[in-house]
């Protein structure tokens, strides 16, 4: 029997207070995610249960942590940060590969009431800078290999007081504002005063990309735990003996909501693999640790499909009990393939950085329709709205904007320093997701596409604006336009159109140089996979670049109305 049981029954009887009761939380109580994920699990008698199985680049590089270790080590990090002058409400950035300090650090930051700001460690200095500047970050916890990127932008970040290096080896002197912190070598702190955060206290700040403007800092609060706990229990269906693997990096919301908070608040053993993608390395990892529940993403699944069925057969994956996916459309073929090779489908889940927890999902005891995102989580009011009137569409299979009544616990509370953009996400009482979908006669949602120009590459959102701006910083580039280009594995990749400044010669060598420039400045995800040189970019008469035309060209779509296009 699954945790959710009958979906229809749950919908009928739903109250969020169910999760509150299980977590022994009452309105007005202290609620601290760091404490819930470690101390409380120990108090429940699971102190010696394995919480984290961590593997580095080779299987020999293995570390295991019990829930008591989580408690002590997060206390130790929390106490260290306090000694460094970090207090409640201060933003502390986590900028690391998937090393144990990242996971334990997040709990430590939350325990002292500070705000965790996780950032993807492959970000280049420009991506890092705009996010640290916007957040007014006070401290950053990082590794030697990433500290150089912080040094490069330090002069422009007056609020940044401490750069905490978790793997300092003494070979080079520490630089300005750097301080070493050795978690393994520190005396464990048995008792830490947990900051009495309340439901609305700020917990996390995750950055996400939009079509225009700089990235948006999505503010989450400690009360989000209520949604994350229950969705983990009902959708991921985690059971006490499960060995769970969430493949997402905590630089992104899946890696925190469901890589850390969900499983640990339920006292579940979680695995982490701190190395890049390879089909056989993934299968071997799951075989070694007897993974039972696996939460991944469509691009990874399509890459596994590409590696072939023979690869799967080399491994014993009989431990797998339940599989789920998030981040981009999960095509029907991937679901069917998964049934063939793993004997079970991937259950698609739909949600966003802003929603903080799963919104539309497939549930263990509900029929999976391959290609559909499933149905709204119990307790949510979801609708498809007409894009002009913003009234709900009642007709089946007619596309509209996905919207929710903003009354679930994990809903974002604002965009940091950007109330104006935040307010635009709400209209007529609805939270507007910015995605389009249809609903079929059985209430299943079918993803249609995004309602903006943001590029979803391999499940990661990239802002065309950020890439266009970075391109303009390259000395050869005069103008730029960036759109998504279709891709078999990543669904979309970044494509740039540029015009060159006088004296520059278009060619492969320059293309490579520009690509690398973006990779270093922004990230490998944002790097254009193709750069097309143009003599002139299509513009409206008022001088605005028409991305729409370039997009249509890439996707072989009708170009539509070009009446505002500049004459040749």
Contacts with ligand PRX, residue ranges (CB under 6 A): 208, 252-254, 326-330, 348-353, 373, 433-435, 447, 450, 456, 461
SS3 216: strand
CA distances from 388 to 385, 393, 448, 546 (A): 8, 11, 17, 22
Question: What is the DSSP secondary structure assignment for residue 545, as one 8-state letter?
Answer: B
CA distance 63 to 52: 8
Instruction: Give the nearer residue to ligand PRX in terms of CB position, either 136 or 371.
Output: 371
Residues 6+ apart with CB under 8 A from 40: 265
Shortest Cβ 437–ligand PRX spacing (Å):
8
CA distance 78 to 189: 9
In angstroms, the CA 93 to CA 113 distance is 14
β-strand pairing of 115-118 with 62-66: unpaired
CB of 130 to ligand PRX, least distance (A): 17
Rank residues 330 and 527 by Cβ distance to ligand PRX and give the closer one: 330
Q: In what order do the strands lie in the sheet with 530-533?
A: 477-487, 491-500, 530-533
**How far is it, in rounded angstroms, from Cα 496 to Cα 477?**
11
Supply the minimum distance, in Å, between the C-beta of residue 323 and ligand PRX: 14
C-beta closer to ligand PRX: residue 90 or 435: 435
Phi, psi dihedral angles at 426 (to 5 degrees): -125, 135
Q: How far is the CB of 48 from ligand PRX (least distance, A)?
A: 33
**Residue closer to ligand PRX (CB basis): 252 or 337:** 252
Cα–Cα distance measured from residue 35 to residue 112, given in angstroms and rounded to the nearest whole number:
10
CA gap 107, 402 in Å, rounded: 33
Nearer to ligand PRX, 134 or 208 (CB): 208
Axis-axis angle for helices 508-521, 125-135 (nearest 10): 30
The most distant pair of C-alpha atoms in the chain lies apart, rounded to whole Å, by 74
Nearest-CB residue for ligand PRX: 353
Of the chain, the end-to-end C-alpha distance in Å amounts to 66
Residue whose entry in the numeric block shows the structure tokens 């201060």 = 90
CA distance 414 to 448: 26
Gap between the Cα atoms of 273 and 108, Å rounded: 21
What's the helix, strand, coil split of the chain in %, to 5?
A: 30, 25, 45
The DSSP annotation for 147-159 comes to: HHHHHHHGGG-TT
For residues 134 and 349, which CB has a smaller minimum distance to ligand PRX in the complex?
A: 349
In the bound state with ligand PRX, the residue whose beta carbon lies nearer, of 357 and 480, is 357
Q: Token digits for 207?
A: 């950055």
Tokens of 28: 């007005």
Q: Is 464 exposed, middle or buried (0-12, 13-18, 19+ CB in 10 A)?
A: buried
């Amino acid at each position: 029997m699954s945790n959710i049981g009958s979906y229809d029954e749950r919908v009928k009887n739903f109250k969020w207070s169910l999760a509150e009761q299980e977590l022994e939380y009452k309105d007005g109580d202290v609620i601290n995610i760091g404490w819930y994920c470690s101390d409380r699990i120990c108090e429940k008698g699971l102190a010696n249960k394995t919480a984290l199985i961590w593997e580095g680049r080779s299987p020999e590089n293995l570390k295991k942590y019990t829930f008591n270790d989580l408690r002590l080590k997060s206390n130790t990090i929390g106490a260290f940060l306090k000694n460094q002058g970090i207090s409640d409400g201060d933003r502390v950035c986590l900028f690391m590969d998937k090393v144990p300090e990242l996971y334990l650090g997040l709990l430590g930051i939350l325990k002292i009431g500070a705000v965790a700001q996780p950032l993807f460690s492959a970000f280049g200095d420009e991506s890092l800078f705009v996010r640290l500047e916007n957040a007014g970050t006070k401290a950053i916890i990082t590794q030697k290999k990433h500290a150089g990127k912080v040094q490069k932008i330090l002069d422009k970040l007056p609020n940044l007081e401490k750069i905490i290096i978790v793997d300092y080896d003494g070979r080079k002197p520490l630089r300005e504002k750097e301080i070493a912190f050795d978690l393994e070598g520190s005396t464990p702190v048995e008792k830490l005063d947990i900051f009495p955060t309340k439901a609305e206290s700020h917990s996390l700040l995750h950055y996400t990309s939009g079509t225009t403007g700089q990235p948006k800092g999505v503010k989450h609060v400690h009360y989000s735990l209520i949604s994350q706990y229950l969705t983990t229990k009902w959708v991921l269906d985690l059971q006490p003996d499960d060995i769970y693997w969430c493949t997402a990096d905590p630089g992104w919301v899946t890696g925190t909501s469901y890589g850390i908070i969900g499983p640990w608040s339920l006292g579940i053993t979680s695995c982490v693999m701190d190395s890049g993608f390879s089909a056989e390395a993934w299968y071997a990892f799951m075989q070694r640790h007897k993974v039972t529940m696996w939460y991944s993403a469509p691009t990874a699944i399509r890459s596994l499909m590409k590696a072939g069925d023979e690869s799967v057969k080399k491994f014993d994956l009989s431990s797998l009990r339940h599989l789920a996916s998030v981040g981009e459309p999960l095509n029907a073929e991937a679901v069917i393939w998964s049934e063939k090779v793993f004997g079970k489908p991937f259950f698609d889940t739909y949600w966003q950085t802003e929603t903080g927890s799963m919104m539309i999902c497939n549930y263990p005891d509900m029929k999976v329709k391959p290609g559909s995102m499933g149905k709204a989580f119990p307790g949510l009011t979801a609708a498809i709205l007409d894009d002009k009137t913003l009234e709900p569409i009642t007709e089946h299979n007619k596309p509209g904007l996905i919207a929710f009544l903003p009354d679930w616990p994990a809903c974002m509370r604002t965009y940091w320093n950007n109330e104006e953009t935040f307010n635009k996400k709400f209209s007529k009482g609805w939270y507007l997701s910015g995605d389009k979908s249809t609903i079929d006669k059985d209430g299943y949602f079918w993803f249609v596409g995004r309602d903006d120009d943001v590029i979803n590459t391999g499940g990661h959102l990239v802002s065309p604006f950020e890439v266009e701006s970075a391109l303009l910083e390259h000395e050869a580039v005069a103008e730029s336009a960036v759109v998504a280009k279709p891709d078999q594995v990543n669904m979309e990749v970044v494509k740039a159109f540029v015009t060159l400044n006088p004296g520059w010669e278009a060619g492969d060598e320059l293309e490579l140089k520009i690509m690398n420039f973006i990779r270093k400045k922004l990230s490998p995800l944002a790097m254009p996979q193709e750069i097309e040189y143009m003599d002139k970019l299509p513009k409206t008469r008022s001088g605005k670049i028409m991305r729409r035309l370039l997009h249509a060209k890439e996707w072989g779509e009708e170009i539509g109305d070009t009446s505002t296009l500049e004459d040749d």
